[in-house]
Chain A
Amino acid sequence: MLIRIIADLLIAIGLVFALAGTKGTLKMPDTYSRMQASTCISTMGILCAGLGALVYAVFTMHSASAAIKIGVIVLMVFVTNPVGSHAIIKGAYRAGFRPEKRMEVDEFRRDFDE
């Protein structure tokens, strides 16, 4: 019973962070800030949901193979997520997306002005 509560609690925390990321992705004012908010989903959301599933797999299902697969899923998301975010945000900048509100500083434009 206690195990079940811990697993559910972890998954619920993950969902709260995923909700925050989703709200940010929909409501933030420009492309870059939306991208930043979406990082919440793929870090804390995945990590907490994965930990909850791991607790469930180890103590309720008693399955080593399921536990290892959950670990590999979390690891893979953590390895691939930053590469994707970096590529998307740099691509957006190169494609000419600029925020409507002026940025506080923009060193990238100052150094690589097209």
Chain B
Amino acid sequence: MQKAKFPAIAATFVLCYAFWILLDFSFKVEELIAGAVVSLPVALFSARFFIHENAGWFLHPGRFFSAIFFWCGTFMVELVKANVDMAKRCFGGCKNINPGIVKIPVDLRSDYGQAALANAITMTPGTITLDIAEDKDGKTWYYIHWIDVATAEPEAAGEAIKGRLERGLRRVWE
């Protein structure tokens, strides 16, 4: 575990302080001072767990807007489609399922990108990420519980589960 650097601490502090102001929503001087007094030790202790790489990563406009576009556009469309599909299965008597655990390859290299993709897959009903594993060649694999296994072949299953999500996330993390 590396030591926390100053930009990481500053970024964590800004995030904590912004959350304090959002939740408190009063702009009296004593409230603002109390927020700073609480945020600073939290930032000092937790910055090294929270930020591992460059602290100003998201301030790059291309990444920032592709992230907004991904989570408000692509991801929402996939979420609604998967939800409607799942609701149909549930109201249709819960018999129309074919569960299994498939293994799919992932091309994203960054740790944050892989975590974001795994969480996006888990959020869409019908697929949950069980585990992330790396094989001998350094290739990353996800184990996914899939409610309706259409194919057990890794590449085709990967395209069906995360094709659009991964293309959206690659614009943010590559």
Contacts and interface: CB of A to CB of B under 8 A. Distances in A.
Interface of A: 16-17, 20-21, 23-24, 27-30, 32-33, 35-37, 39-40, 43-44, 47, 64-65, 68-69, 72, 78, 81-83, 85-86, 89-90, 93, 99, 103-109, 111
Contacts of A43: 79, 83, 123-125
B27 to A, nearest CB: 11
| SS of B interface (majority) | mixed
A10 to B, nearest CB: 13
Given A90-B131, A99-B99, A108 B122 contact: no
A103 B149 CA distance: 9
B157 to A, nearest CB: 9
Contacts of A104: 98-100, 149, 152
Contact of A29 (B22, B94, B103): B94
A108 B99 contact: no
Would you list the 3 A-B pairs with minimal beta carbon distance, nearest first?
A: A104-B100, A82-B122, A24-B90
14 contacts: A17-B83, A20-B86, A20-B90, A24-B86, A24-B90, A27-B94, A39-B123, A39-B128, A43-B79, A44-B125, A89-B130, A103-B99, A106-B100, A107-B102
B87 interface: yes
Contacts of A33: 94, 97, 99, 147
Contact of A32 (B22, B23, B128, B129): B128
Given A40-B125, A82-B119, A105-B152, A30 B99 contact: yes
B149 A111 contact: no
B167 interface: no
B99 A32 contact: yes
Nearest to A25: B90
A107 B83 contact: no
